[in-house]
Amino acid sequence: MKFPITSLKTVRLKYYRLHLLALTALFLAVVHTGLAFASGGVSLPFKPGERLTYDVTWMGVLGGEGVLSVGGEIDYNGHQVYVLKSVARSIGFLRKLYKVDDHTKSFFDVNKLVSHRVEINISEGNYRKKKIIEFNQQKGVASYFINDKEPEIFEIDPKSQDSFSSLYAIRALGAKLTVGNPLFIPVFEDKKKYTLKVNVARRERLSLPQGLVDTVVLEPQLKTEGIFLRKGKMTIWLTDDESLTPVVIRSKILIGAFYATLRSYEGVKINFIPYKKHSAYDKQGAHDERGEKK
C-alpha cells in the first residue's frame, strides 16, 4: 500500500518516538498513588543487559526503530541506580522525509524505585532540544534544565518518576498488576507534575513473529500535549510472566495508529509458545490468538 508523501509530512514522523515508551513510549510517553513502592532488597523483573528492539510502523508502513536497554548498576549521589536508555530513530525512506534521532537516559533507583535524573536529547528534522531533570526526592523538588539556560525549580510529588522511568516502575510492581485495579503513578515532565492513571484492562494471548505469548494489557491515561491529548489512546502489552516485558505498544492517533512491535531481545527470558503449523501473525501488526488484528 502506498501513501502520499504530503500526508506523511502532515502526520509528522516525530511521533515515531517510543515516548514510551515512553514511552512510549515510550514511550511514548507515559504514580501519585497510594501505591507504596518497597525499599531495600527489591527483586526487579529487569536487570542490566536487557535490550529490547522494536519495529515502529504506521498504517502498515515500517518507518522507525526503537531500542530500550538497561545499563549497569552505578552509584549516583549515594543512590544505587540502573541507567535506563531509550533510542528512537526513523529509518528507510521515511528517514529521508523526516530524520529522527532521539535519546533518553534515566537514572532509576533500584531500591526506592524512583527517578533521580533524566537526560533527553531530541533531534527531529531541524529541531534540537536538550532537557535534563534532576530529581531531589528527599526535598520534593526537581531542577529543570533546557539547553544551556539556568534551571527552574519545581515541586514534585513523593516518589515521582520521569516519563521514561514510569514504564520500569510499572514493571517493578509485579504482582500488583491486577485486572480491574488501576495503578496511579506520580510523574513530572515538561514543567508539570501529574498523576498518571494506568488501567489494567485484561489478559490476552498475542500472535507475534516469535510465537504466541500471554500478556497483560495496560491502558495509560495520557496527559501529554499535542496529538495524543484527547484524540489519542495508548495500549501496552506486557508479557504475563515474571519479566513483564513490553512486547507491543500501540498509540492510536487521528489517522490510524503507531505500533511498536518487539523484533529482538537480549538479557530477558520470554515464554513464547511455538506455532504448530501455520502462523496467525500478520506483519501489519499484532494479533490475538484468533488472528484478529489489535
Instruction: Say if residue 123's pLDDT is above 80.
Output: yes
| DSSP for residue 267 | S
Element holding 237 (H helix, E strand): strand 233-239
Cβ neighbours around 145 below 10 Å, total: 15
Q: What is the pLDDT of residue 176?
A: 78
Q: Cell digits for 20? A: 514510551
Instruction: Say if residue 14's pLDDT is above 50.
Output: no
Tens of pLDDT, residue by residue over 81-111, are: 999 999 999 998 888 888 999 999 999 999 9
Nearest to residue 256, comparing CAs of 283, 238, 231? 231
Q: What is the pLDDT of residue 12?
A: 42
Cα gap 112→17, rounded to integer Å: 28
CA distances from 48 to 24, 45, 69, 70, 241 (A): 20, 11, 8, 5, 18
Element holding 222 (H helix, E strand): none
The three-state secondary structure class of 96 is helix
- The average pLDDT across 184-188 equals 94
The phi and psi torsions of 100 (rounded to 5 degrees) equal -120, 130
Q: Considering Cα of 109, then 112, then 113, then 119, what sign does the dihedral take?
A: negative
Tens of pLDDT, residue by residue over 204-259, are: 999 999 999 999 999 988 765 433 333 458 899 999 999 999 999 998 877 788 89
Query: Which neighbouring-strand residues pair with 84?
Result: 70, 106
Q: What is the pLDDT of residue 173?
A: 86
Percent of the chain with pLDDT over 90: 63
Q: Considering Cα of 163, then 168, then 169, then 175, what sign does the dihedral take?
A: positive
The model's pTM is: 0.80
Distance of CA 58 to the CA centre of its chain: 17
pLDDT band, residue 1 (cuts 50/70/90): very low
Cα gap 65→58, rounded to integer Å: 12
- The average pLDDT across 41-65 equals 90
Q: What is the pLDDT of residue 102?
A: 94
Residue 236 contacts residue 249 (beta carbons within 8 Å): yes
Element holding 187 (H helix, E strand): strand 183-189
Cα gap 161→9, rounded to integer Å: 33
For the chain, how many residues are written? 294
Nearest to residue 47, comparing CAs of 252, 247, 244, 277? 244
Residue type, 82: Y
Structural domain spans, the chain: 5-276
Write the burial class of residue 138 (CB in 10 Å: 0-12 exposed, 13-18 middle, 19+ buried).
exposed
Cα gap 143→50, rounded to integer Å: 29
**Mean pLDDT in the chain?**
81
Cα gap 185→30, rounded to integer Å: 10
Distance of CA 213 to the CA centre of its chain: 19
Q: Cell digits for 128? A: 534540537
Tens of pLDDT, residue by residue over 143-164, are: 999 998 999 999 999 999 998 9
pLDDT band, residue 60 (cuts 50/70/90): confident
The three-state secondary structure class of 13 is helix
